[in-house]
Amino acid sequence: MEHYLGEKLKSLRESRNWTQADLAKRLNKAVSTISGYESDAHAIPLDVLASISLLFGISTDELLDLETSESLSLSGLAPAQQAILEDLRREFLAPSQRGKDFSPQQMKILHDIIKAFS
């Protein structure tokens, strides 16, 4: 199945419960530009790809689906533990513009970690 960059961007944005306006503000772009990126109507410039990568805490290889191996082996972990670690990585590696407060999603992840690994 072919994977388009616009779909990936939309998925990343929705994983944070951000609107297109939220993402546009973070990237200093117009909402219509974000919409164009997500629908693959507009190519995403390299500088914007780099900003998206930093914003979501993922490598450009991962953003472009070029990464084939994980840097941390999850083998031997239960599927629930693997999912929790993926959530952690996604949620906590990205630079936060929310200040010091944890989001409800971050609190849920922390709760799940304590429960699953204790």
Average pLDDT for the chain? 79
For residues 10 and 23, what is the distance between their CA atoms, to the nearest angstrom?
Answer: 10
How far CA 32 is from CA of 24, 29, 39, 103, in Å, comes to 9, 8, 10, 27
Give the CA count within 13 Å in the CB-facing half-sphere of 112.
15
pLDDT at 28: 95
| Continuous H helices in 2-95 | 5-15, 20-27, 31-38, 46-56, 60-63, 79-92
Nearest to 106 by CA among 94, 85, 96, 91: 91
pLDDT tier for residue 9 given thresholds of 50, 70 and 90: very high
pLDDT at 1: 34
The structure's pTM equals: 0.55
Residues with Cβ within 8 Å of residue 33, at least 6 apart in sequence:
24, 42
pLDDT tier for residue 91 given thresholds of 50, 70 and 90: low
pLDDT at 86: 77
User: Do 48 and 29 touch, CB atoms closer than 8 A?
Assistant: yes
